A and B are shown apart, each in its own frame.
Chain A
Amino acid sequence: MVPVEAYFVLSALLFFIGVFGFITRRNLIAMLISVELVLNAVDINFAAFNRLLFPEGLEGFFMTLFSIGVSAAESAVAIAIIINVYRNFHSDQVNSIENMKF
């Protein structure tokens, strides 16, 4: 039997790896990939807590399921935006869209 702490530690590590990637990478798609890592870390927690702590319910299960759906949608829109940014600025570095800030 795998203890829930193991899942928790795994998910925390994955989460912060994602955060690290998000902070350090400058490429928009790489940042998006890091966000996916973060989302997956959360999903693992939902599923593991549901299964190991509240096995009679299915809330975490469905949360994970919907999270997958939402991240699919998010990726689609984000990639559309990235393609547009690339088209307009001929660069996909984050710095290139900084001049949109004001």
Chain B
Amino acid sequence: MDYSYVFLILLLPALSFLVLGLAGMKMSHKVAGLIGTCSLAVVTVLCYYTAIKYFLIDGRDATGLFPTVTAFDFVWIKFSELLTFTIGFRLTPISVMMLIVISTVSFMVHIYSFGYMHGEKGFQRYYAFLSLFTMSMLGLVVATNIFQMYLFWELVGVSSYLLIGFYYPLHSAVAASKKAFIVTRFADLFFLIGILFYSFYVGTFSYDLTAMPELHQNVAGVAWVMPMALFLMFIGGAGKSAMFPLHIWLPDAMEGPTPVSALIHAATMVVAGVYLVASLFPLFVEFAPEALHWIAYIAAFTAFYAAAVACCQSDIKRVLAFSTISQIGFMLVALGVCLPGETSGVDNTVEYADVNGLGYMAGMYHLFTHAMFKACLFLGAGCIIHAVHSNEKMYMGGLRKYMPITHVTFLISCLAIAGIPFFSGFCSKDEILVACYNFSPVMGVIMSAIATMTAFYMFRLYYVIFWGKSYYETHKAEGAHQPHEAPLTMTVPLIVLSAITMLVGIFGTLHVFEFGEFVSANGIGFGTHINWAIAGTSTVLAILGICLATYMYKGEETPVADMLARRFPKLHQAAYRRFYLDEVWMFVTHKIIFRCISTPIAWFDRHVIDGTFNFMAWGANAAGETIRPWQSGDVRQYAVWFITGTVALTLVLLCI
């Protein structure tokens, strides 16, 4: 049970950030990259060791649960006896799982970036920021309390901002980074208010309210506090996890380098909101099940909306971004549909005795599998962009001949996200659908439909990239250069991630690997079994979606799709423009907030507050300018003043 080494997991990336950030410019690209990658390799090894130790060697304690281990926890700020802000390292099943996810993807991205960022200006800065991000994200998941989580939450926001704006000479990158930062920061405001509510009324920052029964009476009297605090915290999570209507920053965040998109905006940071809800899950179940269900409704709508938009995007990274939003929606739906203490629905067999935990397990499972295959998809997209030097699908097509490895790994990931058996997405998505059907058949049907859409748009993407007519071949005469397979540093991470996807899928489908054994809502392990009524339907639906995509997009021309776009131009245009959500936000911020609130405040600031200080400064300056000539350096003038003063004083004394 000795976990004293774990501080290294946070310290190494932090040190690497400091070294690269301070001395990076003095190093060559290779050295800087190696420092970042090696420190992360060590961190990855430590994370895996921790996971093996936690799950397999130490295992469950006497009560049959995985214990919550606090490796260290030191007090930073002490507000009161209970309300103490500590910084620590907490191991729970989900935090250990997140350690695996973050370290794996981050390590893969570090390796991948060697190839992708090769020769880029600011290579060292890039690795420094990656280290900072990894440190913050690891700190976030191992937080011992909500406040520490908030601290690291802001740190990941900053590193995300820095990495999105990595190509800062580009105006669009700067705008995107600002947008991401402001939108998530706006949501974080609610998070902070939620934390303040929670800590004020409950008197602790801890997640484990169940461990402190004496605190329950603090909230017993005021019923509205806990649901409100929890929902406010969820708004913070919704900002980071790009839930509707705060999702607008994520598609723009694709301006950053593609490995960054894979790491931050697909696998780790954007699921922070999911992780937050999962961490607060016991509180949600106990105090605010309605809030949990509202989360599910919001998430379902987001999933649908994002899937619809993803069907019409032409920028491949945008498609993946919307797909990410949609999949995070799936995870939050899974968490949201958990019912407290009921065993109802379509499947109340013994394995699902604790049926409310199924959604939790499924959500976490999906988080895990999604991180792997979506990172693989993004990195694959990075290879493609690297090869054709564009994000737009019109420059692609027919790439399967030129980029075989990318093609195969991309296909595996697409199959996984579509939910085909023997691929990891199948196992997790199927559990989510079961949980949804348990909650309500309507929700189940909706989510099945979205899953079908997922299969459709992912394969649309797959076909327009790898099939169809090749831009290179049709534009050879105009000097289009030949796409080529990415270097080894870029393909190896793809292979590793798709291998994980495959292995988890095969073993998961065959019930060799049971995610529920490790992560579940109440800590009691359980095995899943595939409900073929649901799994079969969803598989059939996924295959239908794939077939539709094949029919519409596989060929050299895409007559059906073009015809549909012509037939419903408004709908197509609306979906392409993301249903004008950005315009709505622009209207709200620019026309309403800026004009009605900011402008008067700015006026007040400029004229009244600044005016006061400007007047004081002007007064001091004017006084100085007035007195200055007196200091003339003319001795005779001083003598005159001296005599005048003496005479005046004498006269005054005479008169008294």
Contacts and interface: CB of A to CB of B under 8 A. Distances in A.
Interface of A: 19, 22-23, 31, 94-95, 97-102
Contact of B636 (A31, A100, A102): A31
B36 to A, nearest CB: 55
A97 B636 CA distance: 12
A88 to B, nearest CB: 15
B633 A98 contact: yes
Contacts of B643: 19
B349 interface: no
Contact of B633 (A19, A22, A97): A97
B636 A101 contact: no
B632 A23 contact: no
A19 to B, nearest CB: 6
Nearest to B636: A23
B634 interface: yes
Interface of B: 631-636, 639-640, 643
13 contacts: A19-B639, A19-B643, A22-B636, A23-B639, A23-B640, A31-B635, A94-B634, A94-B635, A95-B634, A97-B633, A98-B633, A101-B632, A101-B633
A59 to B, nearest CB: 23
Contacts of B639: 19, 22-23
A73 B541 CA distance: 113
A102 to B, nearest CB: 8
Given A19-B639, A100-B633, 4 more contacts: A22-B636, A94-B634, A95-B634, A101-B632
Contacts of A31: 635-636
B636 to A, nearest CB: 5
A5 to B, nearest CB: 18
Contacts of B632: 98, 101
B630 to A, nearest CB: 11
B631 A94 contact: no
Nearest to A24: B636
B75 to A, nearest CB: 56
B320 to A, nearest CB: 67
A13 B424 CA distance: 114
Contacts of B640: 23
Contacts of B635: 31, 94
A43 to B, nearest CB: 19
Scoring B632, B639, B640 by chain A CB atoms within 10 A of each residue's CB, the highest score goes to: B639
A102 B632 CA distance: 9
Nearest to B635: A94
A19 B639 CA distance: 8
Nearest to A25: B636
B276 to A, nearest CB: 63
Nearest to B634: A98
Contacts of B634: 94-95, 98
Contacts of A101: 631-633
Contacts of A95: 634
Top 5 nearest A-B pairs (CB, nearest first) are: A101-B633, A98-B633, A23-B636, A22-B639, A23-B640
A85 B643 CA distance: 26
A83 to B, nearest CB: 17
Contacts of A23: 636, 639-640
A23 B636 CA distance: 5
A100 B631 CA distance: 11
A94 to B, nearest CB: 6
A43 B440 CA distance: 115
Contacts of A102: 633
Contacts of A94: 634-636
Nearest to B631: A101
A80 B633 CA distance: 20
Contacts of A98: 632-634
Nearest to B628: A102
B635 to A, nearest CB: 6
Contacts of A19: 639, 643
A94 B635 CA distance: 8
Nearest to A26: B636
Nearest to B639: A22
B111 to A, nearest CB: 65
A94 B631 CA distance: 15
Nearest to A95: B634
Nearest to A99: B633
A99 B631 CA distance: 11
Nearest to B642: A19
Nearest to A23: B636
Nearest to B640: A23
B627 to A, nearest CB: 14
A31 B640 CA distance: 13
A76 B379 CA distance: 89
Nearest to A28: B635
B539 to A, nearest CB: 89
Nearest to B637: A23
A94 B633 CA distance: 9
B378 to A, nearest CB: 65
Nearest to A97: B633
A102 B640 CA distance: 20
B24 to A, nearest CB: 47
Contacts of B633: 97-102
A17 to B, nearest CB: 13
Nearest to A19: B643
B616 to A, nearest CB: 25
A88 B338 CA distance: 94
B467 to A, nearest CB: 81
A96 to B, nearest CB: 11
Nearest to A22: B639
A6 B99 CA distance: 106
Nearest to A16: B643
Contacts of A99: 633
A95 B631 CA distance: 14
B625 to A, nearest CB: 14
A99 B635 CA distance: 12
Nearest to A100: B633
A94 B637 CA distance: 11
A101 B631 CA distance: 8
B331 to A, nearest CB: 71
A86 B55 CA distance: 94
Nearest to B643: A19
A82 to B, nearest CB: 12
B631 to A, nearest CB: 7
A102 B628 CA distance: 11
